[in-house]
Amino acid sequence: MRPREFDEDDLLRIAFDQFWRKGIRGTSLSDIARDTGIQRGSLYNAFGSKEALFLRAYERYSGDYLNAVRKALGSGSVRKRLTAFFDMTITNFRSGSPPRGCPTTRGLMELASEQDGELDDKARQAFADLITRITGLLRDALSQGAEHGEFDGDPEAAALHIMTVTRGLAVLERAFGDEARLRGIAAHTVDLLLGGPSPEQARRSRAR
């Protein structure tokens, strides 16, 4: 009997949703088999292990997320780009019902709580690669802003600062679930990096 064929992209999307909500160790292949309608044996045959399936699903998520970051940072003033980036980031944290948080930060915290040999190394590298690539896209946007006189700091240091803030936002989202607080911190970070609010924001603030 031939193993059941399946759409790998759909499978990875459904599997990652499980990993995102429950964590790597909290998700079983039985959970994924149930939600996808694919037998556990077929999952083992296709991926070899739950851990390998997670890494493949995270790779798919990373590609989609990087495309979203590129779009957010793709055009407009540097303020508009950074604001769009933070908006996309917080929206991602708050997606799902209940909100699922940040899968990368959650994964790193899960790895820190337990040691699991080979998975630790491969997953940590996958998480680090995504953070590095996002940092690079932020650096490029800030460098373009510097070329247009919109930013006068160090693009590399500022990009790392933004990434550090996003990790903090991910933790605060888990602790308080307060989206307005997250967005206030994000706006304040943009103001700090760019030397205060934009003229339009200042006018709105005075009008209140």
**Residues 41-66, mean pLDDT to the nearest whole number:** 93
**Cα dihedral sign, 59-122-132-172:** positive
What is the DSSP-derived secondary structure letter of residue 34?
Answer: H
Specify the 3-state DSSP secondary structure of 106: helix
Q: What is the pTM of this model?
A: 0.88
The whole-angstrom separation of Cα 137 and Cα 189 is: 17
- Report the number of distinct structural domains present in the chain: 1
CATH number for the domain including 178? 1.10.357.10
Residue 207 in this model has a pLDDT that exceeds 70: no
Specify if 49 maps to a domain: no
Specify if 175 maps to a domain: yes
Per-residue pLDDT reduced to its tens digit, 149-167 = 999 999 999 999 999 999 9
Highest mean pLDDT among 6-15, 103-112, 124-133: 124-133
Specify if 32 maps to a domain: no
Residue 107 in this model has a pLDDT that exceeds 70: yes
Specify the 3-state DSSP secondary structure of 82: helix
The whole-angstrom separation of Cα 198 and Cα 183 is: 16
**Residues 71-75, mean pLDDT to the nearest whole number:** 97
Residue range(s) defining the domain that contains residue 94: 55-207
